[in-house]
Structure 1
């Protein structure tokens, strides 16, 4: 389901396609997910948030400087995008972009997932010595820049929009980092 969300969004993913990918009969879908495709999407969103949380926990444990962790994250995202020939995006963003105001449960679940991962990200930044408010703001800026840059890169079929956004962003944050270190 996550791959389908990444490629097509929720409404662009057909139930028949999902059942075929899962090699499952229709009855088993409704047995495990009585709410159908929407309930399955909600489970995929929660699973994506879990995976992102584990990924960032590992990533930040491997890098003492959170900006090095961010640079590694972006580099790995660029590699995944190129490997998929720009067909895959963030499953959360793809589902969000494909949602309508009527998809309230879906939108709430995506918002919770974004917030959950963003809060975890901010906690790692704060633990590295950044002020708490700045960590929250920086986490929001990093995720917004990532999602926007990812969309632009997919449309362009080129990693340059995401590369430029993060080159500029990390340069500015590193300058701010020097100010914080000087103030200590």
Structure 2
């Protein structure tokens, strides 16, 4: 196994663990077994141990979320349609896992304490990056720049909340309700077409 492969396996194992059990519910031995990597490889790539690995998992998850949103916007050009692609994708992944795998960001965010400085900083940077991507997509679609960041914060909070509720309920209904409400909101906020004489 190449060192780079081992590093990616460790990150993948951490993302999977965060989705299913959270940071504190996942032991180091379990992570190493899932990644098929010895402890020495973990500390070679992540000298800060489990915390540094968790930060790397957060960063990879954020990058994937941002790429997914950009692909959805590129495919549709409409923020409402892009939002539906994004939410439907999350819902399909949740359903495929039998409602066992939630968003790793929400899971780890809910269990952090004031002592988890590096993890909280990575989450804060990550959520800010996702909000910025959403806001940029809204502005590019003609929405007012002044309200784009607030709308992005609302969309992200609703997405995370809907996913969390769907996971604990074991049903897609919360995500469907969130989707419907967000689409209505985006339609109300939609920029008006200029009048042509």
The verdict on a shared fold, with TM-score over 0.5 as the criterion, is: yes
2:167 to 146, 154, 177: 154
Taking structure 1 as the reference length, what is the TM-score of the superposition? 0.94
Q: Tell me the residue number matched to 2:23.
A: 10
1:181 to 184, 188, 192: 192
Q: Give ranges in structure 2 of 5+ residues lacking alignment.
A: 1-13
Aligned mates of 1:125, 1:73 — CA distance in 2: 15
Q: Is the contact between residue 9 and residue 97 of structure 1 (CA under 8 Å) also seen in structure 2?
A: no
Higher relative contact order (CA 8 A, sep 6+): 1
3-state SS of 1:181 partner: coil
Q: Does 1:44 align with 2:57?
A: yes
Displacement of 1:176: 2.7
Map residues 16-95 of structure 1 onto 2, 5 A cutoff. 16-95=29-108
Displacement of 1:79: 1.1
Aligned mates of 2:99, 2:16 — CA distance in 1: 13
Q: Is the contact between residue 10 and residue 95 of structure 1 (CA under 8 Å) also seen in structure 2?
A: yes
Aligned mates of 2:89, 2:25 — CA distance in 1: 26
Displacement of 1:166: 1.7
Q: Tell me the residue number matched to 1:137.
A: 150
Aligned mates of 2:48, 2:156 — CA distance in 1: 30
Aligned mates of 1:146, 1:31 — CA distance in 2: 36
Aligned mates of 2:185, 2:130 — CA distance in 1: 23
Cα distance per residue 1:118-161 (max 9 Å; x no partner): 10111011100000122111111110001111111111111101
Taking structure 2 as the reference length, what is the TM-score of the superposition? 0.88
Displacement of 1:182: 5.1
Aligned mates of 1:161, 1:39 — CA distance in 2: 33
Q: Is the contact between residue 166 and residue 175 of structure 2 (CA under 8 Å) also seen in structure 1?
A: yes
Aligned mates of 2:194, 2:26 — CA distance in 1: 52
Aligned mates of 1:127, 1:94 — CA distance in 2: 31
- Root mean square deviation, CA, Å: 1.3
Aligned mates of 2:138, 2:118 — CA distance in 1: 30
Cα distance per residue 1:75-98 (max 9 Å; x no partner): 111111111111111111111012
